[in-house]
């Protein structure tokens, strides 16, 4: 068993009249237990060549369904209007603009429950890491 | 313009043979710009006592022109201390994943305008696993808020 932690810090001194200073730490464990996740794809980078085609980053068929997988994504672009569209199960979730990152659970609950990425421009680079509950 | 930052640190000394120490920090900007996001729902703390789906941002019209193509960020945390208690997160009925006790998510949310008449195509919904009471916190930091017309 491994111990992997994810910590998020949200902060702002001027979004509200009171300071925003949120910090949450989660230890990544398996579905319904306290056993640390032991699988990972490692930190990877993918250059999406051309055509703005939708790219399947993770196929739901390749991972055990109904588990506590966790996914980290980052758009490495430094051009403000370049984004990756994140698509789960053919549903558009949201956009990662330049420098944005996301971290969310993934159930892989069906063969159609793929994680797909649709870049706004050519030659954009996505950074990703999947922590798997297998 | 406000300056709001979101930072993540992923660490492990034993997941791999090399230590994992990944950090990323980003200032939250409006879509395609370097102008800071300036709206938020504020942080909600909720105690849910049913397993039915609830819409956690009912005042945001997902398909509206104020929302489509804009930049919105969502934080959700399952504050349960019971490792078996989870919540299923869905968007438009599509399951994203489960947050078990102590888990959080941080993700963008920018649905396209939709043909559904009620503009609820892209709702973010939670379904707790138990009806004995679970604590959650959530917030949305965004740029496009269009409130439903009162009826």
Domains annotated for chain B, with CATH where assigned, are 29-142 (2.60.120.10)
Report the candidate in A70, A35, A30, A95 with the shortest Cα–Cα distance to residue B67. Answer: A95
Which tops the pLDDT comparison, B94 or A79?
A: A79
- Give A129 to chain B, closest Cα distance, Å: 10
Q: Look up the domain containing A60 and give its range.
A: 33-132
Q: What is the pLDDT of residue B112?
A: 61
- Is A61 in a helix, a strand, or coil? helix
Judged by CB atoms closer than 8 Å, whether chains meet at A4 and B10 is answered as yes
Q: CA A134 → CA A3, B58, B73, distances in Å?
A: 15, 35, 29
Question: In this predicted structure, which of A13-17, A59-63, B63-67 has the lowest mean pLDDT?
Answer: B63-67
pLDDT tens digits, B14-25:
999 999 999 999
pLDDT at B145 over 80: no
CATH code for position A52: 2.60.120.10
Q: Which residue stretches of B26-137 are H helix?
A: none
pLDDT tens digits, B69-119:
789 999 999 999 999 999 999 987 788 999 999 999 999 987 665 555 554
- Is A119 in a helix, a strand, or coil? strand
Is residue A56 within 8 A of residue A39, CB to CB? The reply is no
CA angle B126, B127, B130 (to 5 degrees): 140
A12: β partners? A20, B4
Whether residue A12 lies inside any domain: the answer is: no
Interface of B with A in 72-131 (CB under 8 A): 72, 75, 77, 83-84, 86, 88-89, 91-92, 94-100, 102-112, 122
Whether residue A46 lies inside any domain: the answer is: yes
pTM of the model: 0.94
- The complex scores an ipTM of 0.95
């Amino acid at each position: 068993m491994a111990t992997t932690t994810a910590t998020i810090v949200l902060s702002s001194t001027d979004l509200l009249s009171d300071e925003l200073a949120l910090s949450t730490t989660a230890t990544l464990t398996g579905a319904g237990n306290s056993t640390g996740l032991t699988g990972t794809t490692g930190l990877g980078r993918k250059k999406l060549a051309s055509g703005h085609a939708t790219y399947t980053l993770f196929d739901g068929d390749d991972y055990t369904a109904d588990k506590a997988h966790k996914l980290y994504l980052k758009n490495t672009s430094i051009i403000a209007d370049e984004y990756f569209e994140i698509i789960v199960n053919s549903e558009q979730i949201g956009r990662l603009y330049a420098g944005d990152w996301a971290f969310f659970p993934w159930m892989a609950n069906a063969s159609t429950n793929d994680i797909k990425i649709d870049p706004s421009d050519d030659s954009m680079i996505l950074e990703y890491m999947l922590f798997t509950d297998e | 313009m406000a300056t709001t930052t979101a930072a993540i640190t992923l660490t492990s000394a034993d997941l791999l043979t090399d230590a994992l120490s990944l950090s990323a920090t980003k200032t939250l900007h409006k879509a395609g710009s370097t102008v800071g996001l300036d709206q938020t729902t504020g942080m909600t703390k909720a105690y849910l006592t049913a397993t039915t789906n609830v819409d956690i941002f009912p005042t945001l019209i997902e398909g509206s022109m104020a929302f489509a193509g804009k930049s919105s960020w969502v934080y959700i945390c399952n504050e349960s201390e019971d490792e078996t208690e989870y919540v299923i997160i869905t968007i438009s009925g599509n399951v994203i994943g489960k947050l078990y006790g102590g888990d959080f998510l941080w993700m963008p949310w920018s649905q396209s305008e939709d043909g559904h008449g009620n503009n609820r195509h892209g709702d973010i919904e939670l379904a707790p696993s138990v009806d004995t009471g679970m604590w959650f916190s959530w917030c949305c930091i965004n740029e496009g808020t269009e409130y439903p017309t009162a009826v």
